[in-house]
Structure 1
Amino acid sequence: MVTESEVLLVDAGNSSIKYVSLKDINDSIHTAASPQACFDTLKNSQPAKFIFLSNVGKASIEEQFHHYCAQNQIQLRVIETEKHRFSLTNAYSDVTKMGVDRWLAMLAAHTMTDRAFAVIDVGTAITCDFVADGQHLGGWITPGYGLMKDALVKNTAKVIADNQIPTDFGIGQSTQDCVAMGCQAAVHGVYLSAVDYLSSKHDEFSIIIGGGGKNMLAFAQFDGSILVANLVVHGLARYARRELQALLF
């Protein structure tokens, strides 16, 4: 019999690898800079029997997980974007063109509300997808905060920026502050645009926010938006629990 503590959920993103056991999904999620750093940490934890992997990083990440699992008698499940699963239908005609992180974020958000919703993931890129009545309607992809700042600095002669992320929101009185506040305003704009779009079509709706930069939208919690730790691992958990249930019968 496989227990939830023996199932590992792994979200391999563009900048880091996040992982947690299925049993501890509502606790702190661990972060590693590389697959090897993740494997080194796992040596001191309860051995896993299953790993559910979402990978939007380099192909070599998946290869390293295949090798690690083969060496340690672990069953690896690499989750890919699907057309239909768990009463949710994808709007893409070619689902292979959608990053699995977006698909898993939608699957996670789908369990959190019965209303039409937008799910916003704030990471290296910011993605926003809209769902109503179990149907994915479409979405947006825009550069994240860091990419926006980098693009400004690299493509303009007299614009400079620092590495600080503002802890409040306002207007700048130096070039560095103007860049920081301007990029933060653009991030806020994704949220406000999602509210505008949904409110034009639905009397009631939800906004679910996740990703490493979710705290940049922390102001949104005051109007009923839901902030979660990691949407991708919660989406992976749906696949993991379905397989564990099948093993019991």
Structure 2
Amino acid sequence: MLLCDVGNSRVKFYKGGVTQSMPVAEFMRYEPKERIFFISVNDSVKKKLKNPLFVDLAPHFELKTAYRGLGIDRIAACSAVSTGVVVDAGSAITVDLMFKSSHLGGFIMPGIGTLLKSFASIAPVLDVTLSTNIDLDPLPQKTVSAVNYGILKPIVLTIENIAGNNKIYFTGGDGAYLMRYFRNSIYEKDLIFKSMVSLIAKKGLA
């Protein structure tokens, strides 16, 4: 069974626990040879996905929420968690609160990479790389640490504020990095794909 998650810049494929990806431009030249179950947040590939071998899973998800316009990627991720906080950390960071399989709301923040690029555009001295080991307790004493602190501390405090005592489920490219700043957390690289697999089995779609 082949799964596909179409993002704005890249397309991820998942089969048998193995994940591969390609740029959207390359995906537009891709010709499927088997049935592919997909979700997509990218309107520019709608024509491509009309191929009958592509099966859209979006209509099959049933998430209780009052949130208007919740993206299918967030719906899929949240559907995998009954109670807890779902954090998808990529170019943007989405944070969603789940309680007894109901979505209570969520918010979006700029991602770590996006903020690093923003600082770099302000002045050359602020063009720094992400530190792999920064302590967020003491105040920084040099510019590199100050930029890293200024990016990470607000993100961590904001997530802590909404999470409370709930378990935090991290996914996305920066999820494993952010997870280290939280005690009650887990990193699920393939959270969305696992949710898709569960849905297909539950609905008998395969």
Is the partner of 2:18 in helix, strand or coil? Answer: coil
Inter-partner Cα distance in structure 2 for 1:28 and 1:186 = 34
AA in 1 matched with 2:171 = G
Amino acid corresponding to residue 17 of structure 1 in structure 2: V
Q: What letter corresponds to residue 134 of structure 1 in structure 2?
A: S
**Residues 1:60 and 2:44 are matched in the alignment:** yes
Structure-1 separation of matches of 2:27 and 2:101 = 38
Contact 1:118 1:206 in 2 (8 A): yes
CA RMSD, aligned part only?
Answer: 2.9
- After superposition, give the CA deviation of every residue in 1:126-174 in whole Å (9 maximum; x if it has no partner): 11111112221111211111222233343x4565213x33211236554
1:46-83 CA deviation, whole Å, 9 max, x = no partner? Answer: x422x2222223x22232233xx35xxx2x2223378x
Distance in 2, Cα, partners of 1:138 & 1:17: 26
Aligned residues: 203
Aligned 8 A contact 1:53 1:77 in 2:
yes
Contact 1:91 1:135 in 2 (8 A): no
AA aligned to 1:11 is: D
Structure 1 counterpart of 2:187: 227
In 2, Cα distance between equivalents of 1:186 and 1:220: 12
Q: Which structure ranks higher in relative contact order (CA pairs < 8 Å, sequence separation ≥ 6)?
A: 1
Give the structure with the larger helix fraction.
1
Gaps of 5+ in 2: none
Give the residue type in structure 1 aligned to 2:70: M
1:189 deviates by 2.7
* Length-normalised TM-score, structure 2: 0.81
Q: In percent, how many aligned pairs have the same letter? A: 24
- Give the TM-score taking structure 1 as reference length: 0.69
- Structure 1 gaps of 5+ residues are 1-6, 111-115, 200-204
